[in-house]
Amino acid sequence: MPEVPALASVMVDNEDVRVTEWRFAPGTATGHHRHEFKYVVVPMTTGTLVIRSADGDVDNSIVAGSPYYREAGAEHNVVNMSDQEIVFIEIEMKAPSR
């Protein structure tokens, strides 16, 4: 069965950063993708998302207001297997570090 896409709303997109709000209704997913930039995730809700990669499935518990950082290059699909909506803001850093 095809996955239902999560709702991605780009809030800022310029030469330095892209800021996207991700809303995951139950059963929705990002689709497989590769991160070309370093990024920070700022959870707006608390919940658990499933990260699907070549290494297998891993539960990723997030807590509202507790951001985390990831390097570029991650390849995965993010899926909400819970029964609640999960929301986070993703901040991708396009500009090289100064």
pLDDT in tens, 21-74: 999 999 999 999 999 999 999 999 999 999 999 999 999 999 999 999 999 999
Q: What amino acid is encoded at 9 in this protein? A: S
Does the structure show a pLDDT above 90 at 1?
A: no
User: Residue 17 is part of which domain span?
Assistant: 4-93
What CA–CA distance (Å, rounded) separates 76 from 94?
Answer: 19
- Name the band, by pLDDT with cuts 50, 70 and 90, for residue 3: confident
pTM of the model: 0.92
The answer to whether 49 touches 79, Cβ cutoff 8 Å, is: yes
CATH number for the domain harbouring residue 31: 2.60.120.10
Q: Is residue 40 part of a domain?
A: yes
Domain tally for the chain? 1
